[in-house]
Amino acid sequence: MKPTVAFAALAAGLAVGVARRMKARATGRAPCGDDAGRWLTVTVNRPPELLSKHLPEPLARLRNSIELRIQTAPGGRGAEVAARPRNGLSAAGGPQEARQAVRTALREAKALAETGEVLLPDEPAAARPVRPETVTAHAAGEGRR
Amino acid sequence: MKALCWEGAGRLAVRDVPEPRIRNDQDMIVKVTATTACGSDLHLIDGHVPAMRRGEVLGHEFVGEVVETGPAVRRHKVGDRVVVCSVIGCGRCWYCADDQWSLCDNGNPDPDLGRAIWGYEPGAAYGHSRAMGGFRGAHAEYVRVPFADYGAFPVPDEVDDISALFVSDSAPTGWMGAHLGGVKPGDVVAVWGCGAVGQMAACAAALLGADRVIAIDRHPERLAMAAEHAGAETIDYTATDVCAELRERTGGRGPDVCIEAAGMQAQASGLERFYDGIERRLRRRSDRSSAVREAVYACRKGGSVFVLGFFTGTTDKFPLGALMNKGLTLRAARTHGQRYIPMLLQRIARGELDTRHLATHRMPLKRAPRGYELFKHRKDGCVRVVFHPAA
């Protein structure tokens, strides 16, 4: 790669980073990142020993490909369950998708342990499909169009 | 079935949509007998709430009859008349167990979307955007009710449908503002906004023993309603300086409890209104918070401010210094309705609380776009429009 191209790429990357940070400040979005190494966590309103003994199926399914820890939550809130992908957890889309798979498993495990089911969304009433970019645009700011 | 659908910012239409089906064992299907427009719908309709989907069925406040139950539903049977809470709570997560139902961890099937937009996972409600679950709303002939044993409540025989309808959302929201705002006997309570929620907050404050309730709005008929049904004193905010008026009426202290029930509908006056409009058009912030600001300035030292109005984003010019230096308590929440609904139904049955007067207009669901037009522009003294899908 020529130095000028590399420099341009670096500058563009920096500019995107700065723009994102400025946007986050402008929109007041909470600064909660999702670094690749962090544990993903949920608090489950069930005794930790029960979860350890009968790990809900969504987590049990991933058991060999995640690191998992369960500990007592303070204040009688049940169990704090933390998980993150081991290096071996492969997902078609890469590390972010692997983390999303763990996040979904944690949420579903919590729902099953607490309520006995994972709530399904309503079937859309919309006659017209939603364009993916619509949601992206909304996620970036206000919904007004 | 017929349903009122969102068709893009500012546009509504009654459409034929597929009937809902039971999707989880704890679901049931309710045939809607009455449903009502709410001020928070206006924010959705005008496109101020992210992740709305064209064709979304609106409405979250409803009463109806059970027509089908899932195999795990224990507390309801076909034919029961029920009122359904506007927010969806599982009843078993820590938040629900702690009576903070609108914070339920398990009611929103897509919490990641909310986190992507706002940085936190909001609870779910009927007739809202996908960020809040995307469940179909109640302006329809039928509604799927998830976690039915926890979200639906039998209506006593002594309570008619219209009275019960407002126990779905307006009455528990208003009650929550007074209760969690800490209203106690002897207090002076000020309520900003005299829509249905504000009316119910004023009634709740009076029933909880407030010595005086002061209702603030600009519509004479709404102020008159608060005076008649909650025994409230009134202030027309377009005619006076609200903070000065409240100080004068309270011996220089200010109200003990200030309940904000205007939400993004709040309209400042004069230069502040002009400034608010520019800020929103530039998208520097999404929420109009003039009523919250005023409540913080007006509240007595050491008093309590409760934000009931619906907000989704950010605001500025928030008087953080006044909050801190006056030692105020600031609380807010979407309705923890399940906590209050059984008690409110009993109060209505005993004649202690009246909600029927909120229904200033009634019409068939097929006329709902016209109903929202009346409601949005407060035409013809409209406080709430009730829609009847079967009419």
Question: pLDDT (tens digit, 9 = 90+) per residue, B206-234?
Answer: 999 999 999 999 999 999 999 999 999 99
Q: Is residue A60 part of a domain?
A: yes
Tell me, yes or no, whether A30 lies in a domain. no
- Average pLDDT over every residue of B58-75: 98
Whether residue B177 is found in the same domain as residue B316 = yes
CB B242 within 8 A of CB B298: yes
Q: Is residue A102 part of a domain?
A: yes
Residue A27 within any structural domain of the chain: no
**What's the CA gap between B5 and B25, in Å, rounded?**
27
Last residue of one domain, picked from the residues B290, B313, B332: B332
Would you say residue A69 lies in a domain? yes
Does any domain span residue A6? no
| Alpha-carbon dihedral angle through residues B354, B355, B359, B364, given to the nearest 10 degrees | -120
* Residues B177 and B324 grouped into a single domain: yes
Q: Same structural domain for residues B11 and B157? A: yes
Query: Taking CB atoms and an 8 Å cutoff, what residues of chain A touch B8?
Result: 145
Strands, E assignment, chain B: 2-6, 12-16, 28-36, 62-69, 81-84, 87-88, 124-125, 142-145, 152-154, 188-192, 212-217, 233-236, 257-260, 304-307, 329-332, 359-364, 384-388
> Looking at residue B8, what is its pLDDT?
93
* Confidence band of B119 (pLDDT split at 50, 70, 90): confident
Look at A45 and B93 and tell me if their CB atoms are within 8 Å: yes
pLDDT at B56: 93
pLDDT of B253 higher than 80: yes
Q: What would the pLDDT profile of B177-188 be if each residue is shown by its tens digit?
A: 999 999 999 999
Q: Which of A110, A122, A128 sits opposite B134 (nearest CB)?
A: A122
**What is the residue type of B239?**
A
Count how many domains chain A has: 1
Q: How far is CA A14 from CA A6, A9, A10, A21, B105, in A?
A: 12, 9, 6, 11, 37
Reply yes or no on whether the pLDDT at B167 is more than 80: yes
Q: What percent of chain B has a predicted confidence (pLDDT) above 90?
A: 85
What is the rounded CA–CA span in Å between residue B313 and residue B258? 22
Q: What is the CA radius of gyration of chain A?
A: 20
Q: Which of B96, B97, B134 is nearest to B112 (CA)?
A: B134
Residues 6 or more apart whose CB falls under 8 angstroms from that of A90 comprise A65, A98
Higher pLDDT: B130 or B314? It is: B130
* Binned average pLDDT, 10 residues per bin, chain A of 145 residues: 60 56 52 76 97 96 95 97 83 80 97 98 68 36 29
Q: Closest by alpha carbon to B141, among B29, B23, B38, B55? A: B29
Answer whether residue B365 shows pLDDT above 50: yes
Domain assignment present for residue A128? The answer is no
* For residues B161-186, average pLDDT: 98
Q: Which of B15, B25, B51 faces A117 most closely, judged by CB atoms? A: B25
Report pLDDT for A140. Answer: 34
Report yes or no on A105 lying in a domain.
Answer: yes
* CB spacing of B48 vs A143 below 8 angstroms: yes
Please give the residue of chain A at the shortest CA–CA distance from B91.
A115
Query: Does one domain contain both B190 and B159?
Result: no
**Number of structural domains in chain B:** 2
Domain assignment of residue A108, given as a range? 40-115
Chain A, residues 27-86, CB within 8 A of chain B, namely 27-32, 42-43, 45, 77-78
Q: What is the DSSP letter of A127?
A: S
Q: Residue B99, class by beta-carbon neighbours within 10 Å (0-12 exposed, 13-18 middle, 19+ buried)?
A: exposed
Beta-carbon separation of B106 and A111 below 8 A = yes
The shortest CB-CB distance from A114 to any of B26, B106, B314 is to: B106
Question: Is B153 found in the same domain as B15?
Answer: yes
Same domain assignment for residues B199 and B248: yes
Q: Are B202 and B267 part of one and the same domain?
A: yes
B129 and B201 inside one domain: no
Of B119, B121, B127, which is closest to residue B108 (Cα–Cα)?
B121
pLDDT tens digits, one per residue of B29-65 = 999 999 999 999 998 999 888 889 899 999 999 999 9
Q: Do B294 and B357 fall within a single domain?
A: no
**Interface touch A45/B20, C-beta < 8 Å:** no
Whole-angstrom CA distances from A127 to A138, B7, B12, B215 are: 20, 11, 14, 43
Residue B313 pLDDT class (50, 70, 90 cuts): confident
Q: Quick one: pLDDT at residue B64? A: 98
Is a pLDDT exceeding 70 seen at residue B81?
A: yes
Residues B35 and B127 in one domain: yes
The residue segments making up the domain with residue B265 are 172-332
A117, B26: Cβ pair inside 8 Å? yes
Q: For the domain that residue B59 is a member of, what is the CATH number?
A: 3.90.180.10
Q: How confident is the model at residue B281 (pLDDT cuts 50, 70, 90)?
A: low
